[in-house]
Amino acid sequence: MEVCTVGGYDEVGKNMTAVKIKDDVILFDAGVFLPALVEFQEREPEKSSSRTGIDMRRIGALPDDTVLDKIGWRDKVRAIIIGHAHLDHIGAVPYIASRYPKAKIIATPFTIEFLESMLRDEKITLRNQRIKVNENSTYVIKGKSGSYKAEFIHATHSTIQCAFICLYTDEGTLFYTLDFKFDDHPVIGKPSNYKRLGEIAKKGIDVLVADALYAGNERRTPSERIARDLVEDAINSVKDMNSALIISTFSSHIARLKSIVDFGKKTGRKIVFLGRSLDRYVNCAVKVRLCPFRRDVMILKYRKQINSFLSKANKDKGRYLIVCTGHQAEPGSVLDRIVKGETPFTLEEGDNVLFSSSVIPVDKNIKSREKMDNELKKKGVRIQTDLHVSGHGSREDLRNLIDLLKPTHLIPAHGGTDMTKPMIELASELGYKSGKTSHMSSNGKVLKL
């Protein structure tokens, strides 16, 4: 078995891994580098809604899959398997899938729905067949050298219908875990399918490609139940019923949105979602019947609609709970425009902005959020941050994963060396040998196992 670590091994984003078995190649994920998109929006705002694959490649937003041309793998790609619906895992699919016209795109129903919504919004047509596979189900991929079974095992993360993916081949079994956490008390759905993981482990796993984003954090990532309590406490702490109440979180985090709506309803305020990405993710959740709060909220996505609403809300701030995009201070997001005074809504002393999110750990996001927070403080706005728990496993989750699966080889992914090196160190604690059974990689490198 050969593994090409195409993208996501030198940075957070651009996740893409290629696995070659004889004359067949299977791709796992195809994500974008979000900071590049943010810079593009700042530099060329007129093109941000009509960007092309050429634009995306030029700005460094896509994984450099041209490496597959150089090593002769491109024409052998039979499938593109997507683990879940986050942009750093699926965002590049509309721009690169046409390079592999015979490859089927395989993912859970929610993830496929999200892809279809992206294609509609970007006005992109793909000839690739799309295959929906339910969690805890399998799909057989037919290749030139044989058939390969891909099993989608239910995993907990920070969006819905996420999957561990196990690929069974004649040359070994590969287990792909981007992304996961072990949450035994999820707000939506069930805990990870531990029973099935144990069954697979008994049969033997040859290669584990694992999410190492927080491998250096000496802890176990808390359950989403903790974030739900933080959200409840933060909303209840807003005592001035005439002040503005704005909450920003990850649009893809359907469970978090459920918590916000559940406790928001108790305030008596009308709950309004503002922003295109919120509209997209919520409607995809509705289509797979995993959005229990849809009837409790109003959603506005177009700028004129949003400004019209904000003009009305500005006159009666206490009537509304606003949930909007912009927790990373992304240029052009609803919260960014409100803070910069580009909407009819004026933030004043005593108003409230709650961030039910973390800052994605890249320099651009960190600096942007610092600037936004400073602007809010100048206005006298009351800020509550970090009402959040991560969707990524930390060091103890990874220890539990490795102990459970007992793979022969281990490849850390989802970050540069500052994030993957701690997982190599953890692996050494568990008896793996660096360079022999645990493998530090980089973008474009081919590992022959």
Q: What is the pLDDT of residues 333-362, one digit of tens each?
A: 999 999 999 999 999 999 999 999 988 777
Tell me the per-residue pLDDT of 140-179, one tens digit each, with 9 for 90 and over.
999 999 999 999 999 999 999 999 999 999 999 999 999 9
Angle, vertex CA 184, rays to CA 183 and CA 186, nearest 5:
65
Report the C-alpha gap between 76 and 98 in whole angstroms: 14
Task: State what percent of residues in the chain have pLDDT above 70.
Answer: 98
Provide the pLDDT for residue 52: 83
* Long-range residue pairs from 195-200, CB within 8 A, at least 24 positions apart, any chain: 196/136, 196/153, 196/154, 197/153, 197/164, 197/404, 197/405, 198/404, 200/151, 200/153, 200/166, 200/173, 200/175, 200/405
Name the CATH code of domain 2-220+391-448 (choices 3.90.1150.10, 3.20.20.70, 3.40.50.1950, 3.60.15.10). 3.60.15.10
> Within 101-243, where are the H helices?
109-122, 194-203, 224-236
CATH 3.60.15.10 domain locations along the chain: 2-220+391-448
Can you name the CATH fold of 224-384? Rossmann fold (3.40.50)
Residue 94 has pLDDT above 90, yes or no: yes
pLDDT value, residue 41: 73
Numbered ranges of CATH 3.40.50.10710 in the chain = 224-384
Task: Give pLDDT, residue 359.
Answer: 85
Type of residue numbered 5: T
